Amino acid sequence: MLIFFYIVLFFLLVYGFLIDYYRRSWNRIPYYKRPESVISGQTVFVTVIVPARNEEKNISNCLRSLIAQVYPLDRFEIIVVDDYSTDQTASIIKNFNHPSIKLIRLEDEVAGGIVNSYKKKALELAIAVAKGEWIMTTDADCVLPPHWIACMSALYHKQQAAFVAAPVKISSNSSLLSIFQSLDFVSLQGITGASVFRKIHSMCNGANLGYQKKIFLEVDGFRGIDHIASGDDMFLMYKISKRYPDKIFFLKDPDAIVTTAPAENWPAFFKQRIRWASKTGHYQDQHITKILFFVWILNASILFFLIAGLWNPVDLIYFLALWLIKTLVEFSFVSTVARFFGQQRLMPFFFFLEPLHIIYTVIAGAFGKLGSYEWKGRRVK
């Protein structure tokens, strides 16, 4: 067992170099500042797309934050696609009766009513009728900052970007679950920003994306990946990056941070993470596949010592040592990214939540390979 401990220790050393690389890369991402004033005649026309399924609790806040954007009202539109909601989502959208908001009902547009990737179909339908040259996507449970559209469109205009990934944070309260999710997401966002900046692999989140409509059509949108239930964000990013590798950006601007709600309970959290993990088997980007596999093996090995420690106290000591080392390896990186997101107050919980992070990583990664999951009352393969 001692030999295995040294092997895992070596893996942790390699992991430490990887995390430090992400940290240094994150720190080197330039800040993009939007113009102080936004003038109608100097702005691009933007289409914001919001897929929504059973979001009656959240859709009002999302739409209010969108119509309150500090951006010329005649230069953007909002298309909400109702994905077979069984609650009052569609009715709430209709009641807004705002000139910038358009509602599309998926059930009115999909022949036969059955597809495997409902979100991709929702996005396709919206993009087909979008007036904007610049497409921005978010989720119905998100709240958008006032300068969100201005920040994203300014970067597009300045760089003629093909695709922009932008920051997302999970709101946290005093619950253990929300704090855990927030810290986990901070880490993911830091890796996302570093990866996009260094162009080492494709990572992004559909809650805060932008891309050119003409380029979406040029790469045939989701064709070839439309059989995969999830991955409307990262798979599209990969397709576009293969054709325009120098036109992919991460928007590092606090005014562009989108806030999303945490999962309401632990089962919902695990379902969400299993959904995310389910697409890993379809990645064409071998860089991220190899890294994800390495990280899973590392966490599974550390968890092995915790389980073995139930019978052998020495193995428990090994686990405690690995837990401490892994926490120290990650702390500086996560703390740096948390500062950008204004969530440094959560860092005192980081050490104590590390074992939970190890367990969830192993479970979500394993169950994500089973090929199906339940999401918002729908069984998806």
DSSP letter for each residue of 182-204: HHHHHHHHHHHHHHHHHTSS---
Reported as a pLDDT band with limits 50, 70 and 90, residue 165 is very high
**The model's pTM:** 0.91
Locus of tokens 């860092």? 347
Nearest to 101 by CA among 48, 161, 141: 48
The DSSP 8-state label assigned to residue 373 in this structure reads: E
Amino acid at 231: G
pLDDT tens figures, 310-355: 899 999 999 999 999 999 999 999 999 999 999 999 999 999 999 9
Q: How far apart are CA 159 and CA 179, in angstroms?
A: 36
Average pLDDT over the chain reads 90
Which of helix, strand or coil describes residue 53? Answer: coil
CATH architecture of 33-167+208-262: Alpha-Beta Complex (3.90)
Mean pLDDT for 3-13 is 94
107, 95 contact by CB (below 8 A) = no
Please list, in sequence order, all residues whose beta carbon lies within 8 angstroms of the beta carbon of residue 111, skipping any fewer than 6 positions away.
none
What single-letter amino acid sits at 245?
A: P
Q: In this model, does residue 379 exceed pLDDT 70?
A: no
Contacts of 62 (CB under 8 A, 6+ apart): 50, 55, 138, 139, 140, 141, 142, 143, 144
The yes-or-no verdict on residue 377 having pLDDT over 70 is no
Tens of pLDDT, residues 246-265: 999 999 999 999 999 898 88
Report the range of poorest mean pLDDT among 146-150, 200-204, 319-323, 347-351: 200-204
Interhelix angle 350-367/313-340, rounded to 10 degrees, is: 100
Note the pLDDT of residue 230: 66
What is the predicted pLDDT for the residue at 264? Answer: 86
Q: Give me the residues paired with residue 373 across strands.
A: 380
User: Which percentage of the chain shows pLDDT scores above 90?
Assistant: 69
pLDDT of residue 114: 63
CA 229 from centre of chain? 16
The answer on pLDDT for 93 being more than 70 is yes
Calculate mean pLDDT across residues 180-209: 94
